[in-house]
Amino acid sequence: MSLTPGEREAGRAFRTRCQELLLQVPATAVCSPFTVWYRHECRDIDQGAGTWAMRLRQHYWLLPATEGAEEGLFAFIFRWGLCSRCGLRVRSGTGRFVIARDNPPEKGAIVAYQNRAVLAGKASDTPAS
Ligand SMILES: [Zn+2]
């Protein structure tokens, strides 16, 4: 799809703002925005028991009402998770900037308009082995 100059400008500002907000999301480790299962050596596992994988939940922020572009036209997607065993917080180092209708949120995603997005701060997932 082709974007108008106003939409492009709104998209650039939205992406910049989301990336700034993303850096405020608490994290002790960062990963790719495509990482779904994050495997780590969990200090709470008995020595020799191997590693533990936790699922990172998708956060999906939509463009709020803005000048030059339709509300919800763009989305900024990242992942975040908290290990309930050792407290490790993992999030994407960057987000994916997409046209929302071509990239709908996955099932279980936390969807919010960027101006109302609550930054991840509590356990959102149950780790799985
Ligand atoms: Zn852990």
Q: In 3-state terms, what secondary structure has residue 107?
A: coil
pTM as predicted:
0.86
For residue 84, how far is its CA from the centre of ligand 1 (angstroms)? 7
CB burial readout 84-109, b (16+ within 10 A) else e: eebebbbbbebbbbeebeeeeeeeee
Q: Which band of pLDDT confidence, cut at 50, 70 and 90, is reported for residue 116?
A: confident
User: What is the residue extent of each domain of the chain?
Assistant: 5-116
Residue 39 Cα to ligand 1 midpoint, Å, equals: 9
pLDDT of residue 102: 96
Interval 12-48: pLDDT, tens: 999 999 999 999 888 999 999 999 999 998 876 666 5
Residue length, the chain? Answer: 129
Tell me what the mean pLDDT of segment 65-89 comes to. Answer: 93
Which pLDDT value is given to residue 47? 61
**Calpha distance 74→69 (Å, rounded):** 9
Least confident range from 3-7, 42-46, 102-106: namely 42-46
Residue percentage of the chain with pLDDT more than 70: 85
C-alpha 58 – ligand 1 centre gap (Å): 19
* Residue 104 CA to ligand 1 centre (angstroms): 30
* Torsion, Cα of 100, 33, 40, 45 (10° steps): -20
Residues within 5 A (CB) of ion ligand 1:
42, 83, 85-86, 88
